């Protein structure tokens, strides 16, 4: 029964990634810890595996639709790669409750910021043609990329719930392009983070394979839908989703 519930929720993990360009990782970690019963040291790398594979599938339709800013994705990937190793090192030195509590607090801050901020181009990064002038915003992109990479290694998250707000609010990308670019960044960050865990944990191949397969199905089914939904609805749904998961995590940590 526990395995069945875990796999059903895995469909939602992939669906969130396909629909929103992020969010799957914030569901994957609580599912693996609170439903599958894994310790955080096993749940974090398994989450990275699941989210990385799901994001790869979900990114296909976004790439075909031209919703990826490749230069920004490259900047995030390069700066985040080294930072994932630092995040994984810190994770292995912290108590599991502290990791989960920090994870919940991070979600509250991110969800509230996403809900309250207007998606305006008030950041000075907009180019005359309506795009984003990367050279002027390179320091911001590097800083955010390193932060996302560190949190990827620390919490086992792809970082979409941080990347999408950063790309829209800080760098001024449209929500559709931000979602597609976030998926590519999630793929690169997730597998970089997974590499930082090799040799430190053994994953259950049956659970990892079945969870990943269900998440892939969810991502493949939801990605085409996400390309057609209105930007405002995506943004508001994304923030509410993050806050709901944050409340669940913090309640469970407090009750433990």
Chain-centre distance of CA 242, in angstroms?
11
- Residue 68 near residue 131 (C-beta atoms within 8 A): no
Kindly state the greatest CA–CA separation across the chain.
56
How many other C-beta atoms lie within 10 A of the C-beta of residue 233? 10
Find the distance separating the first CA and the last CA of the chain, reported in whole Å: 22
Question: How far is 205 from 211, CA to CA, in rounded Å?
Answer: 10
3-class secondary structure, 132: strand
| Local structure of 65: helix, strand or coil | coil
| Digit-coded pLDDT (tens) for 64-119 | 989 898 988 988 888 888 888 888 889 888 988 898 899 899 888 877 877 776 54
| Crossing angle (nearest 10°) for helices 175-197 and 231-255 | 40
Helix runs in the chain, H state only: 2-20, 24-30, 40-64, 70-93, 96-116, 134-155, 160-165, 175-197, 205-226, 231-255
CA distances from 79 to 59, 110, 151 (A): 21, 21, 13
Which pLDDT score, from 0 to 100, does residue 210 have?
Answer: 92
pTM exceeds 0.85 for this model: no
Residue 127: predicted pLDDT: 56
Q: 121 pLDDT exceeds 90?
A: no
Ranked by mean pLDDT, which of 72-81, 121-130, 133-142 comes out on top?
Answer: 72-81
- According to the model, what pLDDT value does residue 250 have? 92
Q: Quote the pLDDT of residue 29.
A: 83
For the CA atoms of 175, 179, 182, 183, the dihedral, rounded to the nearest 10 degrees, stands at -170
Percent of the chain at pLDDT above 70? 87
Interaxial angle between packed helices 40-64 and 175-197, expressed in degrees from 0 to 180 and rounded to the nearest 10: 140
How far apart CA 161 and CA 156 sit, in angstroms, is 13
Position 129 pLDDT exceeds 70:
no
Distance CA 91, CA 69 (A): 31
> For the segment 209-249, what is each residue's pLDDT rounded down to a tens digit?
999 899 888 888 887 776 677 766 776 777 787 888 889 88
In contact, 71 and 134? CB cutoff 8 Å: yes
The pLDDT value given to residue 59: 87
Residues contacting residue 153 through CB under 8 Å, at least 6 positions apart: 83, 84, 85, 86, 87, 88, 89, 90, 91, 193, 196
pLDDT tens digits for range 3-23? 888 888 888 888 877 776 666
């Amino acid at each position: 029964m526990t395995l069945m519930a875990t796999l059903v929720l895995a469909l939602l993990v992939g669906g969130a990634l396909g629909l929103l360009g992020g969010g799957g990782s914030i569901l994957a970690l609580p599912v693996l810890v609170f439903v599958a019963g894994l310790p955080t040291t096993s749940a974090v790398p398994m989450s990275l595996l699941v989210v990385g594979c799901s994001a790869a599938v979900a990114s296909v339709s976004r790439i075909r639709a031209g919703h990826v800013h490749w230069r920004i994705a490259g900047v995030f990937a390069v700066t985040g790669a080294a930072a994932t190793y630092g995040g994984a090192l810190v994770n292995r030195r912290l108590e599991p409750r502290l990791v989960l509590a920090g994870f919940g607090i991070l979600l509250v801050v991110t969800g509230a910021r996403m809900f309250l901020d207007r998606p305006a181009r008030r950041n000075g990064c907009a180019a005359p043609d309506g795009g984003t002038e990367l050279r002027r915003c390179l320091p911001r992109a590097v800083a955010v990329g390193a932060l996302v990479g560190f949190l990827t290694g620390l919490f086992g998250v792809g970082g979409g719930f941080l990347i999408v707000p950063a790309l829209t609010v800080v760098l001024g990308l449209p929500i559709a392009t931000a979602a597609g670019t976030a998926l590519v960044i999630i793929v690169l960050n997730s597998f970089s983070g997974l590499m930082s865990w090799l040799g430190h944990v053994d994953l259950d191949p049956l659970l990892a394979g079945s969870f990943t397969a269900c998440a892939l199905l969810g991502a493949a089914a939801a990605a085409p839908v996400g390309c057609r939904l209105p930007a405002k609805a995506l943004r508001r749904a994304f923030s509410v989703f993050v806050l709901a998961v944050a409340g669940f995590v913090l309640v469970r940590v407090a009750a433990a």
